[in-house]
Amino acid sequence: MPTLLIIHHTPSPALQAMFEAAASGARTDEIENVEVIVRPALTAGAADVLTSDGYLLGTPANIGYMSGALKHFFDGIYYPCLEATGRRPYGLYVHGASDTGGAVRAVESITTGLRWRQVRPPVCVTGPPSKADLEACWELGALLAAEISA
């Protein structure tokens, strides 16, 4: 069964709402036969990545960069997963107080090195997530699940 791995760092209520929306989309009843595994960024490892077919990443934008937790995740999986995971689909959602650009650029730089394939532009939110923002997170989760179920 295809597996979607959600790797997240969720330290705020805004990110919790975005995470829940994205996970709900990934688990929608409309898409069958996809296992969704959730791992906090500080505990996710290379074995999780190697046994998954797609990835949904969630991070705050901290001082113009992704969270240290997500960077720690990438540091641990980069070389063990470099050859084996190329072309696998991924998506990204980011929350920031005022800007998300640096965090997005950092994640995109690393995923480009891994040769992962972004399925749609990142969902970027500043301030409290709106209903439309949460719907975009839901759609991102559902899109990734559909991508790997095909």
Write down how long the chain is: 150
Q: Which residues of 37-68 are buried (b: 16+ CB within 10 A; e: fewer)?
A: ebbebeebebebbeebbbbbbbbbbbeebbbe
Domain count, the chain: 1
- CATH classification at residue 93: 3.40.50.360
Range(s) of the domain holding residue 131 = 3-149
pTM above 0.85, yes or no: yes
Residue 43 pLDDT: 98
Per-residue pLDDT of the chain (150 residues; tens, 9 = 90+): 999 999 999 999 999 999 999 999 999 999 999 999 999 999 999 999 999 999 999 999 999 999 999 999 999 999 999 999 999 999 999 999 999 999 999 999 999 999 999 999 999 999 999 999 999 999 999 999 999 997
CA dihedral of residues 71, 42, 23, 48 (deg, nearest 10): 90
